[in-house]
Structures are given as C-alpha cells and as structure tokens.
Amino acid sequence: MECQFLGGAGEVTGSMHVLNTGRDQIMMDCGMFQGRRKESNEKNRYFPVDPAKITNMVLSHAHIDHSGRIPMLTQAGFSGRIITTRPTQNALSYMLLDSGHIQESDAQYLNYKSLRTFLYQEEQKKKNQQLTNKEKSEVKRLLKKNPYDLDSDAIARLQNQYGLDTIVPLYTQEQANQALSYIDGYPYNHEIPIGRDTTVKFYVAGHILGSAFSVFTVKDNGRIRKILYTGDVGRFDKPILKNPTLTFDEQDTKIDLMIMESTYGNREHGPVADLETSLKKVLLDTQERGGSLIIPAFAYGRTQELVYVLHKLYESGQVPRLPIYVDSPLASNLTRVFGEHPETYDKETHTAFLEKGLNPFYFDKIRFVETVEESMRLSRDETPHVVISAAGMCEAGRILHHLRFKIHNPKNTILIVGYMAEHTLGRRIEELGAQAVQEPGSPVPEVKILGKSYPLAARVEKIEGFSAHADKHELDRLITQSNLEIGKIAVVHGEASQSNAFAAHLKEKGYDAVIPGPGDVLSF
Ligand SMILES: [Zn+2]
C-alpha cells in the first residue's frame, strides 16, 4: 500500500494526497495553493495526477486550500464521487462558486493589466515620448465601465483586435457549479463504502464547521489496514464547535499510517482567549466615544464566532445592544449553513441558546445586508453600529467601503480578529494602529483605499485567540491523549520550522515520524 503526497507537503497550502490501495486510488483533499500570485498560479495550473485514474475523493473540510482545485479535478475526466461531511457539502456550494468568481476576476484583472501596458507602449511609440498621467487615464478609461469596474467586453475586443494572448481563469463559476454535482455529504461516525475494499469514517476535527478526521479501512490481502488523515486539527474549548475527537471507535484505534497536519507544530497559542471579555471591553470603549465598530473578518468561521459571542453578550445585558450588520453575501450564506447544522454544536452552545429556544446566529439586533445599495448606505451611516464584513484581510470586498467612510473618525474602532498577511491593507492598518499606541501624539498616518489616501484616525484594536488551528500542545494531545495506537506518522501541512520541530518531538516520544516532500511516495 502506498501514499503519495502531492501538495501541502512541506508547505501549508495546496493539500492533496493520494492513497493507492492497489485496487483504488483515493484522493485526500484537492486544495489550492495560496500565497504570492505568480508562484501559486503556476503551481495551481499544474495538476500532478491524471484525474481519470482517481477512483474517489475524500474531502476533510471546505477551506479553499483543501478544496479549491476540485473543479479542475471534475473538469478533467474524474468520474468518481467526492465524499465529505454534510456541513462541508453545504458550505462548498457557496465557497466553490465564490472561488470560481475570484478566478474569473483575477484572470480579468491580469488581462486588463497586460492590455493596459500594451496600449501605453503603442501610444508612446506614436508620440515618441513618455505618456502623461492624463494620457494614461484616457487609456484606462477605454477599459473600465467606472472607476471600480473593468469593462470585460472592451478588454476582450481589444485583445482580439491586437492579437494578444488571453489569460483564462483556472475555472469559472459555471465549472465550479458543475463540480458540486459530484459531492456527496454524509454524517459523522458512519462507515461509508468508497472503493472496492475500502471504507471511510468521519470524526469531528473541531477546526471549522464540517471539518473531519478521516479514518480509512482497507482490506489488503486478508489484512485490515487503517489510515487516518487529520486534515486540519482544531483547537479545544473554542466557541460553537465540539472539540477535536480523542475517543475513536474501538475498531478504528489501531492506525497503520497517520497523515497529520503541523501548521503550528512548533508554536504555543496560549489558552483560548476570553473572547467575551475582550469583545465587551472594545464594545464599551467604542460606545463611550459614540462611534461604530468595524470588524474585517473571514466569511467562514470567524464571522459566525463573532456573531455568537456578540449574541451571548447581548443576551447577558452586559453591553449596549447596538445594531449588528453582517455585510458579506458569502458570510451571510455560510451563516445559514451554520444555522442548519446544530448537530455539530458543542454542549455550551446547546445550553446557552438551543435549550432556550434561541438561534445563536439570528436575533433581533442582527441584520444580513444583501444589496450593494444597502451596503453603500450603511457605509455612510453615522449612527453607532457594529459591522462585520469581508474580505478578512481588507484586500477586496465591501469592507473597503466601510473603512473608506469610517477610518478618518477617532470615534470609531477597527477591530482586528484574524491573521493579516504581509503587504495587505489589513496588515498596514494593524501595524499603524500598534504604532499609534506606542507613539501617542505622533501625526495621523495615511492609508490608501481603492487608490485614494485616507487618514487613519479611528482606533485600532486587536483580539487574539480566534485561531482555528491546534498549537503544538493540542496536536500532541491528539497523539498522546487519544485512544489511538499509531504505527507511522507522516507530518504534512507545515513550513519546515514547524514540521521539523513537531516530527522531532514525535520521535523523542518514540513514534516513527517522517516528513514527506512534494511528490514523495511512502510505502507502508
Ligand atoms: Zn483549514
């Protein structure tokens, strides 16, 4: 029996592994590479295995770095089924379409940029000198419907006219939609037949709604072999979701190969922060200044955790009941998915909400903004409110308009609740906010939003503790405090510094741990 590691090996994105049982080739996850645009685009376009040879696919959870290349699989000859949990299936119907939309927009933007450069050069040749900014704007105007929207028809027409190459999206929304028909959702803790001699069973992973540990059972020449793929491992004691499973069914405890993530294999998060206390303080401070609270947040997981904690605070009467707006169509849809799966909630959520007849995500003070017009009206609204909007790192989306209208006002608070990658607007706001605290009285810094400069006078606050990934102690807990007996461990999904440290830790404890590189095949 073999396992090949094709992505998310020695790195954190692009998860894809193939289990070869001799009779079946089962793909585990089919994720997209993320990071620097050029590099990840090249990696994403290369599909490292013939989709027609894959008999079935098992998906650990809906995050795009685990699911984002599914439409490429289904477009290229795959004829099996994609097996996952029911909440993940529901979430994918929004996440994959959104991903298709992003692929189309990215391709359109790259086409716009290359055509713009070409047209500048042509104009320059005619004039025989550099173009003025005004002349450049005239070229741009040819390619845009308005300052924010590209004119795709005009771009396609001009590319055609000049015989320029067109960049095609990785996949379209339509192709993402077709991929959905391959996906079958199943409940946790049920044995699901997936190959000729193979079954899979999902256990709660506690990472995001629908995330699962997959235990494969393979009949191999009269022997039973067990493979456990962790996908991403969650944290213990987080709001809403149950903890990662530590007690597996008796027949699933002897594991021949465990494929384990190690994102934070060398990091300690500290205890799950007291989100309620932190959020309460930020809300009270903002209310005292008569301002609004603006929270950039990822649509899946983070948004719902915020809504949950805010609802709890409102119920307890500890904070002013400001109106809350969730302003991201994707986040609104995914909140509905959360609402449809109470079977995945932990005990605390049942006690605090369900047993009182309350829905954690829907109450009188919350409104899910739908139309662009309503969103624009809200961005200009100066009566105090809370708005949770995407994109999480402020690189695109409706959050930009809320920032545009509110960032100059010292009454308002911008609350950072997630990781902000380098070179993003979110990171810049986070850093400038920290600087303002360290150097009080220094001049108000400026930030650029949609091409214009705005003074950052709003207060910037940060709450840690929202991470969805287990740290090294929690990963260790899964190994040492569960009822698993593990033969071999393949450490994946981590940068070298994290995977090496975690594998070394496992070896110290007497485990047979390896770190496969991309393309490596492990026989076991
Ligand atoms: Zn994940």
- The model's pLDDT over 124-145, given as tens digits with 9 standing for 90+, comes to 898 888 888 888 888 888 899 9
Residue 414 belongs to a domain: yes
Phi and psi, residue 465, nearest 5° = 100, 5
d(CA 129, CA 123): 9
Q: In this structure, what token pair is assigned to residue 75?
A: 């477009």
Q: Which of 251-265, 301-315, 430-444 has the lowest mean pLDDT?
A: 430-444
**Taking 70 as the threshold, does the pLDDT of residue 273 lie above it?**
no
Distance CA 289, CA 305 (A): 25
Which tens digits make up the pLDDT trace of 275-333? 889 999 999 999 999 999 999 999 999 999 999 999 999 999 999 999 999 999 999 99
458/472 same-domain check: no
Residue at a domain's end among 425, 443, 462: 462
Query: 349 — phi, psi (to 5°)?
Result: -65, -40
Which of 447, 462, 477 represents a domain boundary (last residue)?
462
- What is d(CA 325, CA 295) in angstroms, rounded to the nearest whole number? 10
Distance from Cα 259 to the centre of ligand 1, integer Å: 15
Rounded to the nearest angstrom, the distance between the alpha carbon of 240 and the centre of ligand 1 is 16
Q: Per-residue pLDDT for 435 more than 80?
A: yes
Query: Out of 12-21, 36-45, 357-366, which region has the weakest mean confidence (pLDDT)?
Result: 36-45
Residues 387 and 446 placed together within one structural domain of the fold: yes
347-351, 464-468, 491-495: which range is least confident on average? 464-468
Mean pLDDT score, 12-34 = 95
The per-residue pLDDT for 289 is: 96
Give residue 425's identity as a one-letter amino acid code: L
Nearest-5° Cα angle at 443, 441 to 445: 125
Number of domain units in the chain: 3
Residue 422 has pLDDT above 70, yes or no: yes
Residues 217 and 193 in one domain: yes
What DSSP string describes 232-253? S---SS-SSBPPPP----GGG-
Q: Where in 322-458 does DSSP place strands (E)?
A: 324-327, 366-368, 386-389, 413-416, 446-449, 452-455
Asked whether the beta carbons of 208 and 240 are under 8 A apart, the reply is no
Q: Tell how far the Cα of 378 is from the centroid of ligand 1, in angstroms.
A: 31
- Same domain for 294 and 437, yes or no, is yes
Provide the domain limits for residue 241.
Answer: 2-96+180-268+468-523
Residue 519 Rama label (left phi>0; alpha psi -120 to 50; beta): left
Query: Tell me, what's the pLDDT at 341?
Result: 97
Distance from the CA of 94 to the center of ligand 1, in angstroms?
A: 16
In angstroms, what is the span from residue 323 Cα to ligand 1's centroid?
30
Same-domain check for residues 290 and 379: yes
Instruction: Report CA(267)–ligand 1 centroid distance (Å).
Output: 17
Distance 29 CA to ligand 1 centre (A): 11
| Same domain, residue pair 115 and 86 | no
Residue 207 confidence class, pLDDT cut points 50, 70, 90? very high
457 in the same domain as 315:
yes
How would DSSP label each residue in 56-95?
EEE-----HHHHTTHHHHHHTT--S-EEEEHHHHHHHHHH
Q: Is residue 174 part of a domain?
A: no
Digit-coded pLDDT (tens) for 440-449? 888 899 999 9
503 within a domain of the structure (yes/no): yes
Q: How many angstroms is it from 66 CA to the middle of ligand 1?
A: 7
Same domain, 318 and 433: yes
Give me the helix-helix angle, 173-180 and 86-127, nearest 10°: 160
% of the chain with per-residue pLDDT over 70: 99
Encode pLDDT of 500-511 as tens digits: 999 999 999 999
User: What is the average pLDDT score of the chain?
Assistant: 94
CATH of the domain at 71: 3.60.15.10
Do the domain assignments include residue 222?
Answer: yes
Q: How far is it, in rounded angstroms, from Cα 452 to Cα 475?
A: 44
Instruction: Give mean pLDDT, residues 52-75.
Output: 97
Q: Which of 434, 462, 490 is the last residue of a domain?
A: 462
Residue 319 and residue 414 in one domain? yes
Distance CA 322, CA 116 (A): 46
Ligand 1 centroid, distance to 502 Cα (angstroms): 19
Residues, the chain, total? 524
At residue 498, does pLDDT exceed 70?
yes
CA 191 / ligand 1 centre spacing (Å): 23
Who's near 13: CB < 8 A, 6+ residues apart? 7, 31, 32, 33, 34, 35, 40, 65
In this structure, the answer to whether residues 349 and 399 fall within a common structural domain is yes
Lowest model confidence (mean pLDDT) among 101-110, 358-367, 463-472: 463-472
My answer on whether 370 and 510 are in the same domain is no
Ligand 1 midpoint to CA 225 (Å): 27
pLDDT at position 280, please? 95
pTM for the full predicted model: 0.91
DSSP helix/strand/coil, 184? strand
Q: Residue holding tokens 């959020």? A: 279
Domain annotation covers residue 171: no
Q: What is the pLDDT of residue 148?
A: 74
Calpha distance 167→369 (Å, rounded): 33
The string of pLDDT tens digits covering residues 361-419 is 999 999 999 999 999 999 999 999 999 999 899 988 999 999 999 999 999 999 999 88
Q: Is residue 175 part of a domain?
A: no
Provide the percentage of residues in the chain whose pLDDT is more than 90: 82
Q: How far is the CA of 65 from the centre of ligand 1 (A)?
A: 7
Among candidate residues 329, 335, 339, the one with its CA nearest the CA of residue 369 = 329
The pLDDT confidence band at residue 117, using thresholds 50, 70 and 90, is: very high
Residues 439 and 300 in one domain: yes
For residue 345, tell me if it sits in a domain: yes
pLDDT at 369 (0 to 100): 97
Q: CATH number of the domain that 351 lies in?
A: 3.40.50.10890
Contact (CB, 8 A) for 501 and 513: no
Residue 168 included in any domain: no
Per DSSP, helices labelled H in 357-420 are 372-380, 399-406
CA of 173 to the centre of ligand 1 (A): 22
Unique residue bearing structure tokens 């260790």: 476
Name the packing angle between helices 275-288 and 302-316 (round to 10°).
Answer: 70
